[in-house]
Amino acid sequence: MIESIFSNIKFSFDKSTLTILYTHHKAYIIPVGIVLVCVFTFFFLVSRQIQDVSLTKSEVEEAQKRITVLKENLDTLSKIDELAQNLQLELVSKTLPIEKDFTGILNAISQASSSTGISVADYSFQVGDVSRLPTVSASGPLILTLSLSLQTDAAGAARFLGELSKTVPLSSVGSVQMSGSLSTVNIGFYYRPLSFTKVGFHTPIRNQSSSDSTLLETLSSWQTTGSP
Amino acid sequence: MNEINLLRQRGSEDRPSQKLARVLRLISIVLLSIVGLSSAILFFLNFSSPLFSLQREEATLLSNLSAYQNQFNKYLIIQDRLKNISGVLSKRTKYNEKIDDLLQKVPQNVFINSLSVDAKSMQISVSSHSLSAVNTLIDNTLELVADKKIKRLTMNSLSFDVGKGQYLLSLSADLL
């Protein structure tokens, strides 16, 4: 029964019906439409604009910081004396070479030996794996260990080590063993491969600190003493 | 005779709906004004932002800095080397000074048979014909503990070699 009633009802939405409906409810349709558009605009466009404004503000602050760093870097770099910088580079590279500097090590031993008058009996390097390129470590430099026999007593060994500590490449003693007139010392010679980490101009650089200058002077005095 | 108006009086029946329409119109105008005004303000804020000029300035500075790339690379290498050299020097044990400190405490008539030093400890074995000299060595070495140059001193052994007529002493010290 009900199905038959509904089946007889026919809805017709032709153009004229829609026009009549619009004309009749025009006073409501337009404001409601505007309200809906405004709500949509506010939540989807204006809110994004607000986010953009706050984002732009933070971007501006970051850009200003970057520019400050770049200006300071430009100022520092433009004041660097290239000749002095080359000398410093040479100095630190001799002190902490980029690879195992066998020649430098032998020169250092020879220098310590000649200045103390202590003869070196024999020596052996513990080189390790030479087939692989050393990788740079963030924690510090790498060490090439050398075992050295000296024909001297404890006092002579102490003098030799004191002299060796003022030579380059940089070294540190691991252990000393003396028996009779023969001393054996284990010495680590440091080296550090170059790091290929990309560092841009946005990294703040500073003028050389007083401690850096003092260290460079000390290293320079070692090399002056050591030069033939 | 009563007059009956068969025409619907305009406004009397639609009054509530007209009121609703007016309210809707007012709301729409207010919302439109708010959205329009806020959009205009936000657009102005974005437009007047100095970001673009800052980005241009940054690009110019980077371009100027590229002329100093060589100096910059050298600077980074020097700083890295100095940092590592300084780190090694600050941690480096001065063995020569430690040995010298100990040797200064050894009397002349005491002979050092063996000496061993590493990062944590020091062992010394001596011999002497004089027990008094051996005792002086122990007393002197204890001064190093008092001076806080060594942490602890242990006498491992003290013996007498009848054949050679020598006293043999073995000491070990924990280094600071």
Mark yes or no for CB contact A74/B65 under 8 Å.
yes
Q: Taking residues A165-170, report their average pLDDT.
A: 92
B32 contacts on A by Cβ (under 8 Å): 34, 38
Distance separating the N- and C-terminal Cα atoms of chain A: 121
Model confidence band, residue B84 (pLDDT cutoffs 50, 70, 90)? very high
Chosen from A23, A25, A50, A70 to mutate, greatest number of chain B CBs within 10 A? A70
More confident residue, B132 or A127: B132
Specify the length of chain B in residues.
176
Select from A49, A93, A201 the Cβ nearest to the Cβ of B62.
A201
Q: Would you say residue B65 has pLDDT above 90?
A: yes
Specify the length of chain A in residues.
228
> CA-CA distance, B131 to A120, in Å (whole number)?
35
B173 to chain A, minimum CA–CA distance in Å? 14
Which pairs with CB-CB distance under 8 Å and at least 24 residues apart come from A114-121? A115/A163, A116/A156, A116/A159, A116/A160, A116/A163, A118/A150, A118/A151, A118/A152, A118/A156, A118/A157, A118/A159, A118/A160, A119/A150, A119/A151, A119/A152, A120/A148, A120/A149, A120/A150, A120/A151, A121/A149, A121/A150, A121/A151, A121/A182
Q: Taking residues A69-78, report their average pLDDT.
A: 95
Cα-flanking dihedrals φ and ψ of residue A152, to 5°?
-160, 165
Contact B102, B125 (CB under 8 A): no
Mark yes or no for CB contact A71/B25 under 8 Å.
no
Mark yes or no for CB contact A89/B35 under 8 Å.
no
Q: Taking residues B161-175, report their average pLDDT.
A: 93
* Percent above pLDDT 70 for chain A: 86
What pLDDT is recorded for position B9?
58
Cα-flanking dihedrals φ and ψ of residue B37, to 5°?
-65, -45
Q: Would you say residue A103 has pLDDT above 50?
A: yes
B119 contacts on A by Cβ (under 8 Å): 174-175
Cα-flanking dihedrals φ and ψ of residue A153, to 5°?
-90, -170
What pLDDT is recorded for position B101?
92
Tens digits of residue pLDDT in B148-157:
888 999 999 9
Q: Name the nearest CA neighbour of A120 among A150, A161, A146, A145.
A: A150
Q: Taking residues B137-157, report their average pLDDT.
A: 92
Q: Name the nearest CA neighbour of B159 among B114, B117, B128.
A: B128
What pLDDT is recorded for position A74?
95
Chosen from B32, B62, B84, B104 to mutate, greatest number of chain A CBs within 10 A? B84
Tens digits of residue pLDDT in B17-28:
788 888 989 999
Q: Name the nearest CA neighbour of A125 among A169, A95, A158.
A: A169
Q: Prior bond to A169 cis, omega within 30?
A: yes
A159 to chain B, minimum CA–CA distance in Å? 7
Six-digit token string for A122: 């024999």
B104 at A interface, C-beta within 8 A: no
Mark yes or no for CB contact B54/A30 under 8 Å.
no
What pLDDT is recorded for position A228?
41
The SS3 assignment for B119 reads coil
Q: Taking residues A190-204, report their average pLDDT.
A: 86
The SS3 assignment for B117 reads strand
Amino acid at B126: V
Select from B27, B51, B89 the Cβ nearest to the Cβ of A35.
B27
ipTM: 0.77
Q: Which chain B residue has the Cα nearest residue A195?
A: B77
Model confidence band, residue A18 (pLDDT cutoffs 50, 70, 90)? confident
Q: Taking residues B47-72, report their average pLDDT.
A: 93
Q: What pTM was estimated for this model as a whole?
A: 0.75
Taking each helix axis from N to C end, the angle separating B95-103 and B131-146, rounded to the nearest 10 degrees, works out to 140
Q: Would you say residue B106 has pLDDT above 90?
A: yes
